[in-house]
């Protein structure tokens, strides 16, 4: 199970998982990749800095599972 919080987010997106994950991609509502990170060894927790993003709808994909997020 993966938890992505807070939603809506402001300056940081936090990700916490019961099992390791290796790939994260943050995309805009239009499908443009804005941020991506690969963790070859796998991790269970991370934070994504997003303070420079404008308000709107975003998608965070973690190892093929996509979460819909809103920035206020």
Q: Look at residues 15, 31, 26 and name the one whose alpha carbon lies nearest to residue 52.
A: 26
pLDDT at 56: 97
pLDDT at site 45: 97
**How many domains is the chain partitioned into structurally?**
1
Domain residues for 67? 2-71
Would you state the structure tokens that stand for residue 28, as one six-digit string?
């805009």
CATH number of the domain enclosing 33: 2.60.40.10
Q: Encode pLDDT of 4-55 as tens digits.
A: 999 999 999 999 999 999 999 999 999 999 999 999 999 999 999 999 999 9
Q: What is the pLDDT of residue 59?
A: 99
For the chain, the straight-line distance linking the first and the last C-alpha, in angstroms and rounded, comes to 25
Q: Rounding to the nearest 10 degrees, give the CA dihedral for residues 58, 59, 62, 64.
A: -170
Q: Which pLDDT score is estimated for 70? A: 98
- Supply the pLDDT for residue 43: 97
How far is residue 5's CA from residue 60's CA, in Å, rounded to a whole number?
11
pTM for the structure as a whole: 0.94
């Amino acid at each position: 199970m993966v938890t992505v919080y807070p939603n809506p987010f402001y300056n940081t997106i936090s990700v916490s998982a019961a099992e390791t994950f290796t790939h994260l991609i943050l995309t805009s509502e239009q499908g443009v990749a804005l941020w991506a990170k690969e963790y070859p060894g796998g991790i269970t927790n991370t934070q994504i800095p997003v303070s420079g993003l404008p308000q709107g709808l975003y998608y965070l994909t973690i190892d093929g599972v996509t979460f819909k997020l809103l920035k206020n």
